[in-house]
Amino acid sequence: MIRRFEWVGRPSRIAALTGVIGVTTVAVAALASSVLSGVMARRIVTPSAKRADDVRVDGVDLAAGTITLASTADSVLQGDYSFWFSGDSGHAHVGEILRSTPVAVTRRILRVDYGDLAQARRGRLGGYSYLGPWDLAVEYDDVLIPTQAGDAPAWLIPATEPGGKWVIQVHGRGVRRQETLRAVPVFRDAGYTSLLISYRNDGEAPVSTDGRYGLGDTEWQDVEAAMSFAADRGATEIVLMGWSMGGAIVLQTATRSRLRELVVGVVLDSPVIDWADVVAFQGGSLGLPWTVSTGAMQVLGRRWGGLITGQTAPIDFRRLDFVSRAAELDLPVLLMHSDDDGYVPATGSRALAVRRPDIVTFLPFTVARHTKLWNYDREGWNQAITGWLAALPVR
């Protein structure tokens, strides 16, 4: 015989016990949220040592010059892309899509730079397309930019004709200056000398005291050092171009640098305009409640947060928010972003374009993902920059 379990006792005791359970549940949830916020905050500012291979290789036919990849948001994009494989031990370039099904896509292999592609089982696609200036067949110099932390390596690619117009290229989070090589030809055709820089904690430049990203709040000083380097070599007009987090960095440079009078315009590709948008988006993509994302920003923005993240100084997110600070901008801006970015939502870019139509030229994409706009539509991307440069006010 199974007896039915019954509460025996006063209703007040039951209510008290229920209250204790409720308070305990809330406390546990709050503790879990706080822990996750700390983990997320530390992850945001800690440079990653390695990127994961996130696409499966279903087949390679070197004789036919084709590779078949599992269908992902990136692998089905039209255009030419870099393909790192086997834990970055190999690199190839892949091009047009030859066949596509709901589960796989076959692309043309343009070339294999190094590694055994035939044995690859997994890899990752990127927008680099060029591994160095040598791929562009242009003259260049390896130079060092003196920064507060030490000498940071950079590539200096002179214009075809000597002049005072320079562009300083600033790459995004977790990548290196190769990301910005795609912009060299269009700027060179317009008469610009290109300086492709590294900055603190990016894996090439010297490490900062804390070894943590400042999300633009500190890295801009390395761009200022690059501007000083350029000015010493005859630069009289400088365009700053930032990719992804590099966008946040150049916006800080353009508004905080003592050399900002040299800057004639800013070009932004898939930029971070407001970190609150980005952190909330990343948290949502991981299935985390909004309290974790907001908590992470609280950790990063408070001095005590350094005990968790390792930062020596808090990040001023209000200073990094150029939706709120839109009125402070006084330079022409070319802004390009895709609605399906996947990493940095385009909401901040669209908001800035709406607030400052007088200075912002906005080129929206619908299907191009993150910093792959050039790869997806090279002609449209180049034409946008060419036209925007031609319209810059003459000094």
Q: What is the pLDDT of residues 32-87, one digit of tens each?
A: 678 999 999 999 999 987 888 999 999 999 999 999 999 999 999 999 999 999 99
Query: Residues 97-118: pLDDT tens digits?
Result: 999 999 999 999 999 999 999 9
Report the pLDDT value the prediction gives residue 18, as an integer from 0 to 100: 46
Q: Please tell me whether residue 194 adopts helix, strand or coil conformation.
A: strand
Is the pLDDT assigned to residue 335 strictly greater than 60?
yes
Task: Please state, for a pLDDT cut of 70, what percent of the chain lies above it.
Answer: 92
Query: Residues 232-274: pLDDT tens digits?
Result: 999 999 999 999 999 999 999 999 999 999 999 999 999 999 9
**From its phi and psi, is residue 10 left (phi > 0), alpha (psi between -120 and 50) or beta?**
beta
- Rounded (10°) CA dihedral 139, 145, 151, 155: -20
Is the pLDDT assigned to residue 195 strictly greater than 70?
yes
Radius of gyration (C-alpha) of the chain in whole angstroms? 24
CA dist 224 → 61, 167, 229, 240, 245 (Å)? 48, 13, 9, 10, 16
Which CATH code for domain 55-126? 2.40.30
Fold (CATH) for 133-389 = Rossmann fold (3.40.50)
Compute the distance between CA of residue 126 and CA of residue 80 in angstroms, rounded to an integer: 9
Look at residues 277, 263, 381, 383 and name the one whose alpha carbon lies nearest to residue 333.
263
Report the pLDDT value the prediction gives residue 21, as an integer from 0 to 100: 46
Compute the distance between CA of residue 190 and CA of residue 258 in angstroms, rounded to an integer: 27
What confidence tier does 319 reach under pLDDT thresholds 50, 70, 90?
very high
Higher pLDDT, 391 or 128: 391
Look at residues 174, 173, 66, 53 and name the one whose alpha carbon lies nearest to residue 125.
53
Compute the distance between CA of residue 333 and CA of residue 327 in angstroms, rounded to an integer: 13
Run of H or E residues at 112: strand 104-114
Full-model pTM: 0.91
Residue 142 CB neighbours (<10 A): 10
How many Cα atoms occupy the beta-carbon half-sphere of 246 within 13 Å? 30
Query: Residues 1-39: pLDDT tens digits?
Result: 444 334 344 555 545 444 544 444 544 455 567 899 999
Burial 367-388 (b: 16+ CB within 10 A, else e): ebbbbbbbbbbbeebbebbeeb
Average pLDDT for 304-323: 97
Report the pLDDT value the prediction gives residue 5, as an integer from 0 to 100: 35
Query: Residues 131-174: pLDDT tens digits?
Result: 999 999 999 999 999 999 999 999 999 999 989 999 999 999 99
Distance of CA 18 to the CA centre of its chain: 48
What confidence tier does 216 reach under pLDDT thresholds 50, 70, 90?
very high
Ordered by start, the domain boundaries in the chain are 55-126, 133-389
Answer yes or no: are the C-beta atoms of 57 and 84 closer than 8 Å: no
**Alpha-helical regions (H) of 286-346:** 290-300, 306-309, 317-320
